Structure 1
Amino acid sequence: MFIKDYISKDYPAFNASDSIEVANEVAKEFGYSHVFIKKKGFYLGALSQQFLEESAEGTLATLEHHYEKFALLDDGNILDSIKLFHTFNSNVVPIINKLEKYQGYLSCDDVFCEFAKYPLFSENGALLIVQINNRSYSMTDVCRIVESNNGKIYGCYISAFIEDDVQITLKISSENLSSIDETFERYGYNVVLKYYDDEKEELLKDRFGFFQKYMEF
């Protein structure tokens, strides 16, 4: 999960003296939302490909006042990238060291490929969102409720704060789902959402069964 293990270097950072047109063409070729500008190896900022598309001919230095100052340190965690991707509407983030020297980049695809390996995303099971007063919730209690009903937790995180309440999202094994629901409610949790993978499978089986009976007539 450390950024230094996922740094890519094939997408070049540009010097301020490079042309806007060349930078724009490279960004389009790679399919990335931003280009990165450096001077003597030090990171200066980023410009969006869309902004370059609309800019007059010249060098990147002429757009200095429009540089966007976002980057991640190479000793950080890839979870730190999510907010930057969202805030700057970007699919690529520059990586720098503590001296602000450009080290490479991290793309959305890199992050998604890493997350896809985690049981939270890869395992089949039930997705639950439970809600309770912020002063009453306990992750220990949440885990205990699931595990006391012979369930397994693949992932668990706080997904929202709503006024005085907190919402917790869980990915769990699909056994004993009704017992887990009832136990949460008994302990004062409101089950806001329940998504059960096998329900879709059963629905498809039922529809296929109806279709087979229809074809037999």
Structure 2
Amino acid sequence: MFIKDYISKDFPCFSLTDSIESARDTLEDFGYSHIFIKKSHHFYGAIAKEFLDEAEGTLKNLEHQIERFAILEDNNIMDSIRLFYTFNSNIIPVINKSEKYLGYIGCEDVFQDLSRYPLFSETGAMLTVETPVKKYSMTEIANIVESNNSKFYGAFISFMSDEVIHVTIKISNENLGSIDETFDRYDYRIVEKYYSDEKTDLFKDRFGFFQKFIEI
């Protein structure tokens, strides 16, 4: 799941001397949210599409709108998710340690890769349980699920404060009533749950988890 395994190279990196019109035309062709800028053979930053729509001249005129974000080629694909969310972008530039532009990764590529994993692909139940920070144990949460003969597909922390942690889990549909009772017996509070075994809900299920990851 390293970034270098997902790099696409078909999207150009512009120079400040290039025209805004050519950059705008490229964005229309690709449907991306940002263009990328290089300066002195190094990656310089990105400019959002909204700033290109009304401007004319060269990209130098928009230098004050440049945002600095990129991801290193040897990072993990999960490291890109916060960047997509923070910069409201559907494309992230990839650079090496010398800050040379290598290409990009797209949001759709990340989503497609993550959707292969049971956390997203398996139909099942979604639960969010609350536990005090001092009591938190992912091992115990998984054991509660598996001790009730249900499958534990994965989990992530969806909220954390100084006092409590919310853990969102994906499990199979077996023995859900018993799992609820066991969590209650071990002093976990179920704050959210969604049970479904309908195949038509699969895509919505995946997308919901992906959105929660982005918002962390």
Q: Tell me the TM-score normalised to structure 1 length.
A: 0.88
Q: 2:34 — aligned with what?
A: 34
Indicate the larger mover: 98-107 or 77-86.
Answer: 77-86
| 1:40 Cα deviation after fit | 4.4
Residue 199 of structure 1 deviates from its aligned partner by 7.8
The code of the aligned residue for 1:20 comes to I
Q: Give the drift of 1:168.
A: 0.3
Report the number of matched residues: 200
Deviation of 1:77 after TM superposition, in Å, equals: 0.9
Tell me if the contact between 2:127 and 2:193 (Cα under 8 Å) persists in the aligned partners.
yes
Secondary structure of the structure 1 residue equivalent to 2:9:
coil
Q: Tell me the distance in 2 between the aligned counterparts of 1:67 and 1:61.
A: 10
Tell whether the 8 Å contact from 1:33 to 1:90 is kept in structure 2 after alignment: yes
How far is 1:171 from its partner?
0.4
Alpha carbons 2:145, 2:152 under 8 Å: kept: yes
1:193 correspondence with 2:192: yes
**What's 1:118 paired with?**
117
Please give the alpha-carbon distance, in whole angstroms, between the structure 1 residues aligned to 2:197 and 2:96: 46
Partner of 2:204: none
Which is higher, the Rg of structure 1 or of structure 2? 1
Moved more, 10-19 or 57-66: 57-66
Separation in 1 of the partners of 2:195 and 2:145? 15
| C-alpha contact 1:28 1:49 (8 A) present in aligned 2 | no
Which residue number in structure 2 is paired with residue 172 of structure 1?
A: 171
Give the counterpart letter for 1:161 in structure 2: M
The CA distance in 2 between the partners of 1:4 and 1:170, in whole Å, is: 29
Structure 1 partner of 2:57: 58
- 1:95 shift after superposition: 0.5
Q: What secondary structure is seen at the aligned counterpart in 2 of 1:17? A: coil
In the alignment, the residues of structure 1 paired with residue 105 and residue 199 of structure 2 have an alpha-carbon distance, to the nearest angstrom, of 35
Partner of 1:154: 153
CA distance in 2 between partners of 1:193 and 1:37 (Å): 44
Q: Supply the distance in 2 between the matched residues of 1:195 and 1:24 (Cα, whole angstroms).
A: 43
State the match for 2:79 in structure 1. 80
Change (3 A) 1:33 1:199: closer
**What's the CA shift for 1:130?**
0.5
Contact 1:129 1:192 in 2 (8 A): yes
Instruction: Work out the CA distance in 1 between the residues paired with 2:90 and 2:169.
Output: 27
Partner of 1:5: 5
Q: 3-state DSSP class of the match of 2:105? A: strand
| 1:83 to partner: Cα distance | 0.9
Equivalent residues in 2 for 1:13-28 (5 A)?
13-28=13-28
Once the two structures are aligned, what percentage of the paired residues are identical? Answer: 58
Q: 1:162–1:62: structure 2 CA closer, same or farther, 3 Å change rule?
A: same
Q: Offset at 1:198?
A: 3.1
Shift of 1:125: 0.7
The runs of at least 4 consecutive aligned structure 1 residues that moved more than 2 Å come to 198-201
Alignment pair present for 1:95 and 2:83: no
Q: d(CA) in 2 for partners of 1:16 and 1:177?
A: 58
Q: What letter corresponds to residue 81 of structure 2 in structure 1?
A: I
Q: Is residue 135 of structure 1 aligned with residue 142 of structure 2?
A: no
Q: Secondary structure at the match of 2:173?
A: coil
- Measure the CA separation in 1 of the matches of 2:7 and 2:24: 22
CA drift at 1:51? 0.6
Gap runs ≥5 in structure 1:
202-217
- 1:34, 1:47 within 8 Å by CA — same for their partners in 2? yes
User: Within 1, Cα distance between the matches of 2:73 and 2:130?
Assistant: 36
